[in-house]
């Protein structure tokens, strides 16, 4: 039997612009995880997959060719060079909200690939896992930038530019984020499509917004490496304004963001595709309770608090 987990993720700066080649920064969120358990099953039974949290249970042989989890298993098996279809039962669990901008799909796929590698006694290098998950994400997301699968596979904050090797890095001091779920589900494919539509209508304006976001991402990396949380908070706020200009914010998200700022957050923004999903607020540790209470008051459905700090090794390697 083999078990593996993968974290959720947040984008700190640069969502959407990253699809157009600009840099972005993302970090894992270990307070919500996906888990995969792979075990041998009765001879001749083939591969069965059960994902209770998303209500899916199927046998790989009978699954449609584009069944997302089936695609992941087939890609991983091909990579592992497993010829004969083995008899396996795979259980998947996740407490990462679906379509909430926390990378639920990529996390499930990552846990699945890592558990399959472990089952067959192979080391799951982050770059290899990330490439397999990206291949599967392309199947049902169109053309994602690849930031989700990359940050989740590395389990560490990353500086990311589409098509280039990710640069994992650590902040200069621990940083605390309060993550609040609006409860509104918003598929990334739709918001990415909306930005594409806007870009086709108003290319020059959108390109200028993407450039401004790229500048913020550069500054954010510096602020993170220096532990300058006041500056990073201002960058969150400026990035939020630019995301509003790209039409991916919403009154519900803005109510949460305003609530967090009024309660003393250093800055706050939507994270991920937008129009729903989660917002992130950068807070000093002593303000976590006050900001969380304000977010609840403003309608947050679920609150997570995460601390991003240097570790001697990624929890993925435990
Ligand atoms: O999966 P989400 O909702 O965190 O969004 C991913 C970030 C986008 O930049 C909006 C899309 C992408 O492919 O990078």
Is 64 an active-site residue?
no
**Higher pLDDT among residues 311 and 298, named by residue:** 298
Atom in ligand 1 nearest the alpha carbon of residue 188: 3
Encode pLDDT of 116-168 as tens digits.
999 999 999 999 999 999 998 887 666 789 999 999 999 999 999 999 999 99
**Complete domains list, the chain, with CATH:** 2-168 (3.30.230.10), 175-308 (3.30.70.890)
- pLDDT of 317 > 80? The answer is no
Encode pLDDT of 74-98 as tens digits.
999 999 999 887 999 999 999 998 8
CA distances for 88 relative to 41, 44, 123, 206, angstroms: 5, 10, 19, 48
Q: What pLDDT, on the 0 to 100 scale, is given for residue 55?
A: 83
Q: What pLDDT, on the 0 to 100 scale, is given for residue 121?
A: 96
CA distances for 218 relative to 125, 146, 279, angstroms: 27, 19, 21
CA of residue 188 to ligand 1 center, whole Å: 6
- pLDDT of 101 > 90? The answer is no
CA distances for 89 relative to 43, 49, 105, 155, angstroms: 11, 6, 20, 26
Residue 144 near ligand 1, beta carbon < 6 Å: yes
Query: How large is the average pLDDT for residues 259-285?
Result: 97
Atom in ligand 1 nearest the alpha carbon of residue 100: 3
Query: How large is the average pLDDT for residues 293-307?
Result: 97
Q: Which of 32-36, 150-154, 184-188, 261-265 has the lowest mean pLDDT?
A: 184-188
Q: What pLDDT, on the 0 to 100 scale, is given for residue 311?
A: 81
Atom in ligand 1 nearest the alpha carbon of residue 186: 3
- pLDDT of 318 > 80? The answer is no
**Higher pLDDT among residues 174 and 61, named by residue:** 174
Q: What percentage of the chain reaches a pLDDT higher than 90?
A: 85
Residue 7 near ligand 1, beta carbon < 6 Å: no
Best mutation site among 188, 189, 206, 280 for ligand 1, i.e. most ligand atoms within 8 A of its Cβ? Answer: 188
Residues 154, 314 contacting (CB under 8 angstroms): yes
Interhelix angle 251-262/288-297, nearest 10 degrees = 150
**Out of 87, 95, 148, 228, which one is annotated catalytic?**
148
Residue 15 near ligand 1, beta carbon < 6 Å: yes
Q: What pLDDT, on the 0 to 100 scale, is given for residue 139?
A: 73
CA of residue 121 to ligand 1 center, whole Å: 32
Residue 14 near ligand 1, beta carbon < 6 Å: no
- pLDDT of 30 > 50? The answer is yes
CA of residue 10 to ligand 1 center, whole Å: 10
Contacts of 205 (CB under 8 A, 6+ apart): none
Residues 232, 224 contacting (CB under 8 angstroms): yes
Residue 99 near ligand 1, beta carbon < 6 Å: no
Residue 158 Rama label (left phi>0; alpha psi -120 to 50; beta): beta
Encode pLDDT of 160-174 as tens digits.
999 999 999 999 999
Encode pLDDT of 205-238 as tens digits.
999 999 999 999 999 999 999 999 999 999 999 9
Pairing of strands 302-308, 175-181: antiparallel
pTM for the predicted model, two decimal places: 0.94
């Amino acid at each position: 039997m083999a078990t593996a987990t993968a974290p959720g993720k947040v984008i700190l700066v640069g969502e959407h612009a990253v699809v157009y080649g600009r840099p972005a920064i993302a970090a894992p969120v270990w307070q919500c995880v996906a888990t995969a358990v792979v075990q041998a099953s009765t001879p001749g039974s083939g591969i069965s997959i059960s994902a209770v949290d998303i209500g899916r249970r199927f046998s790989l042989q009978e699954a449609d060719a584009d069944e997302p989890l089936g695609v992941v298993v087939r890609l991983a098996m091909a990579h592992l060079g497993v010829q004969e279809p083995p008899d396996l039962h795979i259980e998947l669990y996740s407490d990462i909200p679906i379509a909430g901008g926390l990378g639920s799909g990529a996390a499930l796929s990552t846990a699945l690939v890592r558990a399959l590698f472990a089952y067959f006694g192979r080391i799951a290098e982050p770059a290899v896992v990330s490439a397999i998950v990206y291949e599967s994400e392309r199947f049902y997301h169109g053309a994602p930038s690849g930031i989700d699968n990359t940050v989740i596979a590395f389990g560490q904050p990353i500086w990311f530019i589409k098509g280039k090797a990710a640069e994992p890095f650590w902040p200069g001091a621990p940083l605390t984020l309060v993550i609040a779920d609006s409860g509104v589900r918003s598929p990334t494919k739709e918001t990415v499509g909306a930005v594409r539509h806007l870009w086709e209508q108003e290319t020059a304006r959108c390109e200028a917004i993407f450039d401004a976001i790229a500048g913020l991402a550069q500054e954010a990396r510096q602020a993170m490496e220096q532990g300058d949380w006041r500056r990073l908070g201002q960058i969150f706020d400026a990035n939020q304004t630019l995301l509003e200009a790209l039409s991916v914010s919403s009154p519900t998200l803005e109510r949460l963001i305003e609530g967090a700022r009024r309660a003393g957050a250093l800055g706050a923004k939507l994270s991920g595709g937008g129009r729903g999903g989660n917002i992130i607020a950068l807070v000093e540790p002593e303000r976590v309770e006050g900001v969380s209470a304000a977010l609840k008051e403003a309608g947050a459905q679920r609150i997570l608090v995460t601390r991003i700090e240097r570790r001697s090794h990624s929890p993925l390697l435990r």
